[in-house]
Structure 1
Amino acid sequence: MAAFLRSLGRVTPIALSNSFLSQSKSSPKYAFTLSAIAAISGGASFFYYFSSPNLVHLEQVKGEESRDIALVPDKWIEFKLQDTARVSHNTQLFRFSFDPTKKLGLDVASCIVTRAPLGQDAAGKPKYVIRPYTPISDPESKGYFDLLIKVYPEGKMSQHFASLKPGDVVEVKGPIEKLRYTPNMKKHIGMIAGGSGITPMLQVIEAILKNPDDKTQISLLYANVSPDDILLKQKLDILAASHPNLKIFYTVDNPTKNWRGGVGYITKNTVEKGLPSPSDDTLVLVCGPPGMMKHISGDKAKDRSQGELTGLLKEVGYTEQMVYKF
């Protein structure tokens, strides 16, 4: 456990200097510093479809390098839970281990897909619940990966994760590439995230900020139910304070007395003031629950392709080429 907690400081190249404490599920006597959490697991409430035309398996590395990657794109691999810890009222951290000579094998922006047994069908064959998650650990880390998962009362997969004990295994497949990010691909990237939809945004943010040659400007609008639901706010605030090319605006539905951010849904005015103007040098990334997606950009199509652009972003003047829906 102690090694697990110490190694959190190596999760990302950008660490938090101030932290909060939480108790470990497996070892209650320990408290630890979440000093380097870079992202949270995403998509906890959404099914993943392998037939999705807009999600492409990353090409498996050939030759010598293929032996350095733990993931296999077309095969479910078991990863053992090393430890777990509670980090908030409904969020837990999970560390999974594998061969210490290998990397997990992720690029930006990509995720993994997990599955868990969910009884049997009428023919007696196993049924599974399947969900995508984004590891929070540095892609260069060897021998482990970390997931930060929001546990929902009715969430079949998140409840399964919450029931795991050290030594239990989870089946994983991937990586799955969503948006292939390259440095300076756009002058200005706007982001709209809701709840756990912050995951892919943080993956892109970290990739930009840790590269001194990447001059991309980033504007993030982050919406949540309450201030307590803002995931990794301390991390985000420190990143924004230390990187002038990152601007963040928070808004919540249920503010507290001391809340100083926005209140209510993201509006057309919020988008116009907080995001870059539509242009060929602009890209807006969107990720959040279905209701928010419908309001902001329209959801993806039934086949999980990008679908038609609607909502506030279309009203403001963005085109489908300027928007990517995670």
Structure 2
Amino acid sequence: DGINLVPPGQCQFNPTFQSVPLLDRVPCGTGGTSFLLRFGLPDDSKHMGLTTCACLLASCELTDRETGEKTEVTRPYTPISTNDQVGSFDLLIKDYGENGFLSKYLCEDLEIGAKVNFKHIDFNVKIPAPFKQKKIGMIAGGTGITPMIQALHAILGEGPEEQKSETDEVILLYGSRNKNDILGGDMLEKWASCHEGKFKHIDVLSHEPKDSDYTGERGFIDEEKIQKYFPPASLGDDVIIFVCGPPIMYDFLCGPRNEKEVSGILGKLGYTSSQVFKF
């Protein structure tokens, strides 16, 4: 894949919602609950122009199951496609069924050709690529893998020298319930084999059956696993940590997503707010 990085402010989507069509929807993985959704762009002759590690806001008017009233539902999604892709962009979405609202609609009910509103706010750019840090630790839970995939495209992709990151090692700890819940697993495995020594991917499964053939890490991403795999906080400016997952993951590992201060396990291990980025 090409890198094709762009600075903030060049995205086709802006702070005003624009509607674009669903072009295709493809099941991903083995669990049957995750889908790659391809959407069109306002100008289908150009690439999206999204900065690395930035998200879009998707909005649809849906019927509230309890009240029967129409309600506007807005959720953030991080595209997994790069700016090499012209005329469309891809989202990786898990269908949470009755526990999800917008995800269920996008994965089950939205028809090919029907439109969804998207917008982008530059504030939603956490840290743009290329990255200066030598070591990057990534912690992802569930669909929190999507900004990590964006960052990995930028780090591992081919491109001009000025767009290449200085990172020489990336370690991803990826928490899922079981093997079927791993999103983008094939892509991650391919990257790990093609970039051996530079990218390492460790799955951590919390509810994988004991008698399965899975031989990797079990349980949850905890202090022991972070110390085992991650570069230490003592590396200072040479290390950064990305975290993205459900609220309980932030609380346990680094403190709430909307708080700059780092607490939890990462705080205990000495990582600071200049080293930890909460997506």
Equivalent position to 1:214, from 150, 156, 165 = 165
The amino acid across from 1:169 in the alignment is K
> What code does the residue aligned with 1:300 have?
R
2:255 alignment counterpart: 298
Q: Which residue of 2 aligns with 1:249?
A: 202
2: distance between equivalents of 1:251 and 1:236? 14
> What's 1:308 paired with?
261
Q: What's the counterpart of residue 102 of structure 2?
A: 157
Q: Give 1:263-274 correspondences, 5 Å limit.
A: 263-274=218-229
Q: Which residue of 1 aligns with 2:22?
A: 81
Deviation at 1:311, TM superposition (A): 1.0
Distance 2:88 2:273 in 1: 37
Is the CA contact 1:83–1:165 (under 8 Å) kept in the aligned structure 2? no
Match of residue 285 from structure 1: 242
Paired with 2:244 and 2:135, the residues of 1 have a C-alpha distance of 18
Query: Which residue number corresponds to residue 57 of structure 2?
Result: 113
Structure 1 residue 184, shift from structure 2 partner: 4.0
Structure 2 residue identity aligned to 1:253: S
State which of 168, 188, 192 in structure 1 corresponds to 2:139.
192
- Shift of the alpha carbon at 1:92? 1.7
Match in the other structure for 2:272 = 319
Deviations 1:240-261 (A, max 9, x none): 1111211122110123421111
1:141-152 correspondence to structure 2 within 5 Å: 141-152=85-96
- Equivalent pair of 1:101/1:143 in contact (CA under 8 Å): yes
- Distance of 2:8 and 2:138 partners within structure 1: 24
Aligned to 2:12: 70
CA-CA distance at 1:113 after TM superposition: 0.7
Structure 2: distance between partners of 1:231 and 1:182? 23
The aligned residue for residue 129 of structure 1 is 73
8 Å CA contact 1:105, 1:175 repeated in 2: no
Query: Is the 8 Å Cα contact of residues 191 and 285 (structure 1) preserved in structure 2?
Result: yes
Distance 1:144 1:280 in 2: 36
CA distance in 2, matches of 1:142, 1:180: 24
In the TM superposition, residue 13 of structure 1 has moved relative to its aligned partner by 4.6
Distance 1:234 1:218 in 2: 17
What code does the residue aligned with 1:93 have?
A: L
Distance 1:184 1:324 in 2: 13
Residues 40, 88 of structure 2: 8 Å contact kept: yes
Contact 2:82-2:150 at 8 Å conserved across structures: no
Query: Residue in 2 aligned with 1:203?
Result: 150
Identity, in percent, stands at 34
AA aligned to 2:173 is L
Query: Unaligned 5+ residue runs, structure 2?
Result: none
**Alpha carbons 2:129, 2:154 under 8 Å: kept:** no
Matched, 1:236 2:236: no
C-alpha deviation, 1:206, in angstroms = 1.1
Root-mean-square deviation (CA, aligned residues, Å) is 2.2
So what's the TM-score if we normalise by structure 1?
0.73
Q: Take 1:286 and 1:136, find their aligned partners in 2: how far apart are those partners?
A: 16
Number of residue pairs matched by the alignment: 256
- Structure 1 runs, 4 residues or longer, greater than 4 Å off: none
Local SS of the residue matching 2:237: coil
Q: Please list the CA deviations of residues 87-122 of structure 1 after superposition, one character each: whole Å capped at 9, or x if unmatched.
A: 2411122222243312222011111111011359xx
Amino acid at match of 2:24: D
1:140/1:175 Cα in 2 relative to 1: closer, same or farther (>3 Å)? farther
Identify unmatched segments of 5+ residues in structure 1. Answer: 1-11, 15-56, 62-68
